[in-house]
Amino acid sequence: METVQEKNAYQASSQGYYGTFGGAFIPEMLYPNVEELRENYLQIISAPSFKKEYDDLLKNYVGRPTPLYHANRLSEKYGTNIYLKREDLCHTGAHKVNNTIGQILLAQKLGKKRVVAETGAGQHGVATATVCALMDIECIVYMGELDIERQAPNVARMKMLGAEVRPATCGSRTLKDATNEAMRHWINNPVDTHYIIGSVVGPHPYPDMVARFQSVISEEIKWQLKEQTGKENPDYVIACVGGGSNAAGAFYHYLDDLDTKLVAVEAAGQGISSGHSAATTALGTPGVLHGSRTILMQTEDGQVVEPFSISAGLDYPGIGPQHAYLYESGRGTFLSATDEEAVAAAFELTKLEGIIPALETSHALAILNRLGATTSETVVINLSGRGDKDMATYMKYIN
Ligand SMILES: *Cc1c(COP(=O)(O)O)cnc(C)c1O
């Protein structure tokens, strides 16, 4: 994790701004909670005792460092040198636990007795319920009533882990409604509750805090690539973007290394102009979403447009404010892949390398044929998660 003074043009200012994006646009009722976090988070997470606990859990509980694997057959197919950062091998099957481990330790230091979270597909809910079980902290996860029906296995996991899953019954009964309920809960229980947000979104300091917890990904890539190739900077780092936490972690230590191109891949759903898409930078405009100024999909009068993607983790109408800035400044290259392209890429990786990726991750793999990387170049793809949770979808494509 970086400490405050270091870096730089693409990191959050002290008020949480990345250019004109970021900040904390919150109702007054939420102000004391967010302010308590903002005042304390840097000091707490940069203390040596915190780092020691965090690193120890990442090593012995999560299973870090995750391997950096040179994918021979995939490299041959695309005529370049491809390395896979294996976040799919983390405990619970994805990168999300890097963040929930950090936040549960932070909650403990702040003296919180209870954790609240929102979840869409249930992946962040499971990662949160996991660390709450580990630390014996009460856990309440809000989930849209419709999502509870659609994601039964993750609901069962959260309950088995001891979490209380509370249905959000208003509106479209999905993620946005669960977020509203979780916020309301936090407002009503400011003293004893910590709210664990699952991506680099929300009011400052969440985007910066979550990016710091995920930055272990690029910290490891640097020394692992150096060990394997003699050079710590690849030509490209590629990651999928829902809210953007796995990408933020994979990009973090490369932000100032301008010889490394940062490629973010969004979900185009059924196609960018199909009306069923989640390609935020292609379709969105600046505005405020979930407490920060960013780019989001909205109508002319500012109504959030319902996103669509085959992958639940990318089905989000915005991106984190840092990504909005990487897009606007040109530091990041933003591409998108359709549902169909993602599924094809998942089957290709599975056949070539014996690794079944998550549907989210498959979007990052799907742009390899458009990247234009040469035989002398090096590409790192952040393999954000494993595909076990997506087997019901993949099965529809197996005959
Ligand atoms: C949740 C999830 C994502 C999307 O979230 P980000 O915050 O954009 O990383 C991507 N991949 C996997 C495997 C996920 O579970």
Give the range of the structural domain holding residue 157, as residue numbers without chain letter: 18-59+96-210
Examine the domain organization and report whether 40 and 175 are in the same domain.
Answer: yes
Pick the last residue of a domain from 177, 210, 243: 210
> Among this protein's residues, is 118 annotated catalytic?
yes
> Among this protein's residues, is 75 annotated catalytic?
no
Residue 3, domain member (yes or no): no
Cα of 314 vs centre of ligand 1, distance in Å, is 7
Q: CA–CA separation, 229 vs 232, rounded Å?
A: 8
Cα of 70 vs centre of ligand 1, distance in Å, is 22
> Among this protein's residues, is 245 annotated catalytic?
no
Instruction: Give pLDDT, residue 95.
Output: 98
Examine the domain organization and report whether 200 and 305 are in the same domain.
Answer: no
CB of 22 shorter than 6 A to ligand 1: no
Instruction: Give pLDDT, residue 1.
Output: 52
Pick the last residue of a domain from 210, 245, 275: 210
* φ/ψ bin of 185: left (φ > 0), alpha (ψ from -120 to 50), beta (otherwise): alpha
pLDDT string in tens for the chain (399-residue length): 544 444 579 999 999 999 999 999 999 999 999 999 999 999 999 999 999 999 999 999 999 999 999 999 999 999 999 999 999 999 999 999 999 999 999 999 999 999 999 998 899 999 999 999 999 999 999 999 999 998 899 999 999 999 999 999 998 888 888 988 999 999 999 899 999 999 999 999 999 999 999 999 999 999 999 999 999 999 999 999 999 999 999 999 999 999 999 999 999 999 999 999 999 999 999 999 999 999 999 999 999 998 999 998 998 999 999 999 999 999 999 999 999 999 999 999 999 999 999 999 999 999 999 999 999 999 999 999 999 999 999 999 998
CB of 96 shorter than 6 A to ligand 1: yes
* Nearest alpha-carbon partner for 18 in 207, 198, 202, 217: 207
CB of 94 shorter than 6 A to ligand 1: yes
Supply φ then ψ for residue 92, to 5 degrees: 75, 0
| CA nearest ligand 1 atom 1, residue | 313
Examine the domain organization and report whether 206 and 220 are in the same domain.
Answer: no
CB of 387 shorter than 6 A to ligand 1: no
pTM of the model: 0.96
What sign results for the dihedral spanned by CA atoms 9, 296, 96, 116? positive
What's the number of domains the chain is made of? 2
Residue 6, domain member (yes or no): no
Beta-bridge mates of residue 337: 267
Examine the domain organization and report whether 341 and 276 are in the same domain.
Answer: yes
Residue 53, domain member (yes or no): yes
Instruction: Give pLDDT, residue 7.
Output: 52
Examine the domain organization and report whether 272 and 338 are in the same domain.
Answer: yes
Residue 158, domain member (yes or no): yes
Cα of 287 vs centre of ligand 1, distance in Å, is 22
Q: CA–CA separation, 357 vs 351, rounded Å?
A: 11
CB of 379 shorter than 6 A to ligand 1: no
CB of 199 shorter than 6 A to ligand 1: yes
Instruction: Give pLDDT, residue 5.
Output: 42
- Give me the helix-helix angle, 206-214 and 216-229, nearest 10°: 30
Residue 195, domain member (yes or no): yes
| Cβ(121)–Cβ(147) below 8 Å | yes
Examine the domain organization and report whether 242 and 133 are in the same domain.
Answer: no
What CATH number did the domain enclosing 184 receive? 3.40.50.1100
Instruction: Give pLDDT, residue 158.
Output: 98
Residue 270, domain member (yes or no): yes
| CA nearest ligand 1 atom 3, residue | 313
What is the number of the ligand 1 atom nearest to the C-alpha of 241? 8
| CA nearest ligand 1 atom 10, residue | 360
Pick the last residue of a domain from 164, 188, 210: 210
Examine the domain organization and report whether 309 and 321 are in the same domain.
Answer: yes
* Residue of 75, 87, 112, 118 marked catalytic: 118
Q: CA–CA separation, 281 vs 278, rounded Å?
A: 9
Examine the domain organization and report whether 87 and 139 are in the same domain.
Answer: no
Examine the domain organization and report whether 251 and 237 are in the same domain.
Answer: yes
CB of 294 shorter than 6 A to ligand 1: no
Instruction: Give pLDDT, residue 176.
Output: 83
Examine the domain organization and report whether 173 and 205 are in the same domain.
Answer: yes
Instruction: Give pLDDT, residue 3.
Output: 47
Examine the domain organization and report whether 283 and 310 are in the same domain.
Answer: yes
Examine the domain organization and report whether 141 and 251 are in the same domain.
Answer: no
Instruction: Give pLDDT, residue 172.
Output: 83
Residue 11, domain member (yes or no): no
Residue 102, domain member (yes or no): yes
Instruction: Return the structure tokens found at 351.
Output: 């056949």
Q: CA–CA separation, 126 vs 198, rounded Å?
A: 11
For the chain, the farthest-separated pair of C-alpha atoms sits apart, in whole angstroms, at 57
